[in-house]
């Protein structure tokens, strides 16, 4: 009888540990999945829900390994001060438009239709003007909404 109770207790313990593991693994974004939306940016009537890259880890990872990006979604990189921040498409699986925005929230540089690249040929994209924010959107969005240098961004986060 004691043997049966012991086996049932072991079974319940294994079940609870497995359920907890599956619960916590399901809570974190998996490789290739979007992180939660944490902000919103708008250019006139065109708005995009964005993931914020505020710390060094998020800025380094960016949209790497994400297999897709929903329409009207993107990633906004927030920097402490204005500078010429270079970007590249290493391990980025989707083509992107990249927009540099100054501290006055005006577009200062645009790089359209940036394609995924490999280690052997992955050019760096460097703006010609200082920026405090950098926005990554699906390729083609800049042309679709008619975004131009000098356009103003409204930012909610």
Q: DSSP secondary structure string, 43-96?
A: ETTEEEEEEEE-SHHHHHHTTTT-----TTEEEEEEEEEEE---B--BT--S-E
Q: Please check whether residues 100 and 67 belong to one and the same domain.
A: yes
CA 64 to chain CA mean position, Å: 8
Number of structural domains (the chain) is 2
Taking 3-state DSSP, the helix, strand and coil percentages for the chain, each rounded to the nearest 5, stand at 25, 35, 40
CATH number of the domain at 69, please: 2.60.120.1140
Residue range 59-114, pLDDT digits in tens: 888 898 889 999 999 999 999 999 999 998 988 999 999 999 999 999 999 999 99
**Residues near 142 by Cβ (< 8 Å), separated by ≥ 6?**
97, 99, 110, 112
CB atoms within 10 A of CB 29: 11
pLDDT digits (tens, 9 = 90+) for 102-134: 999 999 999 999 999 877 788 899 999 999 999
Mean pLDDT of the chain: 83
Instruction: Kindly state whether residues 16 and 46 are assigned to the same domain.
Output: no
Asked if 53 and 88 sit in the same domain, the reply is yes
pLDDT recorded at residue 32: 46
CA distance 157 to 145: 22
CA atoms of 54 and 33, how far apart (whole Å): 19
Query: In the structure encoding, which two tokens stand for residue 7, read together?
Result: 């086996």
pLDDT band at 138 (very low <50, low <70, confident <90, very high): very high
* pLDDT of amino acid 66: 87
Domain extent for 4: 1-30
Q: Are residues 25 and 52 in the same domain?
A: no
Q: Clarify whether residues 81 and 12 are in a common domain.
A: no
Q: Is the pLDDT of residue 21 over 60?
A: no
Q: What is the pLDDT, as a whole number, of residue 8? A: 53
pLDDT at 142: 97
Q: How confident is the model at residue 15 (pLDDT cuts 50, 70, 90)?
A: very low
Q: Are strands 73-83 and 46-53 parallel, antiparallel or unpaired?
A: parallel
């Amino acid at each position: 009888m004691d043997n049966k109770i012991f086996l049932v207790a072991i079974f319940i313990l294994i079940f609870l540990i497995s359920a907890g593991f599956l619960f916590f693994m399901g809570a974190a974004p998996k490789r290739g999945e979007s992180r939660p939306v944490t902000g919103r940016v708008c250019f006139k009537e065109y708005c995009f829900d964005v993931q914020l890259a505020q710390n060094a880890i998020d800025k380094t990872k960016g949209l790497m390994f994400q297999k897709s990006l929903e329409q009207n979604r993107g990633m906004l990189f927030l920097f402490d001060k204005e500078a010429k921040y270079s970007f590249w498409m290493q391990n980025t699986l989707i083509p992107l438009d990249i927009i540099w925005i100054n501290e006055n929230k005006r577009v200062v540089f645009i790089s359209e239709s940036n394609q995924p690249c490999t280690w052997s040929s992955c050019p760096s994209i460097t703006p010609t003007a200082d920026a405090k924010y950098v926005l990554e959107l699906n390729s083609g969005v800049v042309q679709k909404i008619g975004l131009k240098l000098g356009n103003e961004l409204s930012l909610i986060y």
